[in-house]
Amino acid sequence: MAIDRAAPIGVFDSGVGGLTVVRALMERLPLESIIYFGDTARVPYGIKSVPTIEHYTAQIADHLMGAGVKMLIVACNTMAAVAADVVKARAGDVPVLDVIEAGAQAAVAGTSGGAIGVIGTPTTINSNAYARRMHELDPSLRVYSQACPLFVPLVEEGWLDHPVTRLTAEEYLRPVLAEGVDSLVLGCTHYPLLKALLQSVAGPQVRLVDSALTTAQAAAEWLAREDMARPSGSVPAYRFQVTDIPLRFQTIGERFLGRSLGAIDKVDW
């Protein structure tokens, strides 16, 4: 079946964090409609097992395919790390982009000294997905990975510039910075909100790679190349779907998105 260029882009995540990718997409592709799916009932994914994440990811991919999207974007680093193939297997002709592919490519293209740090959830780091992909692109690279499980709750608490978050960052980044990395990949949806703090802990010589921005760029390039972008004058529609609406979702979501969320629909499987 032919893909409709007017159809929305489907973006999904374990919860609210993928809104950092939506924010980057809204800025980079202001004419595109977006349907966002956050599995707020089952978040966090970053400490769950691979089979469980594969199972949840398949359900979400099927749901968004049923909504007739023209592209699927795996905004969750944890899902991209362990279940990107599950999504591709269900997407048919619909292209699948993910934060790990975009982030790995940007990190490899921008490294000056060949030493790259990666931070993410325990499941993302244990999967070694970023390091594997970067080594495929350049086998001579040195990649140093560090799981940072406390960052997700700290960001959701809004402690973006808090002494506790700074101490935590200093502790997590110490071994990676000791290796003299020139780039640091923010391998989790939540970490772009900590950019200012992480930059000050890492120092100005370390380039932060924001996979939300690089994913939006990759989406723009694909749409232009395949002539699938919406024409000028199009008015975008944004839909937000979640599996549960916790009290704090709207507040936290608006912090991630940098604007008001509007209506949020609860999906019943």
Q: List the catalytic residues.
A: 76, 188
Structure tokens at 98: 């993910």
Q: Could you give the string, one character per residue 187-206, with x where binding to ligand DGL holds by CB under 6 A and - elsewhere?
A: -xxx----------------
13 makes contact with ligand DGL (CB under 6 A):
yes
**Which one of 8, 10, 17, 253 is in contact with ligand DGL (CB under 6 A)?**
17
The whole-angstrom separation of Cα 20 and Cα 42 is 19
Q: By three-state DSSP, how is residue 237 classified?
A: coil
Beta bridge partners of 12: 37, 74
Minimal CB distance to ligand DGL: which residue?
A: 46
- Closer to ligand DGL by CB, 37 or 223: give it: 37
d(CA 22, CA 28): 10
Give the range of 42-50, 58-66, 202-210, 219-227 binding ligand DGL by CB under 6 A: 42-50
Residue bearing tokens 């594969």: 54
Tokens read off for 54? 């594969």
* # binding residues, ligand DGL (CB under 6 A): 18
Token pair 């707020």 in the structure block, residue: 40
User: Site map for ligand DGL, 114-153, x if CB under 6 A?
Assistant: ------xx--x---------------------------x-
Among positions 40, 78, 183, 214, the unique one binding ligand DGL when judged by CB under 6 A:
78
Q: Does 76 bind ligand DGL (CB under 6 A)?
A: yes
- Counting Cβ atoms within 10 Å, is residue 196 exposed (0-12), middle (13-18) or buried (19+)? exposed
Q: How far apart are CA 83 and CA 88, in angstroms?
A: 9
Interface with ligand DGL (CB under 6 A): 13-15, 17, 43-46, 76-78, 120-121, 124, 152, 188-190
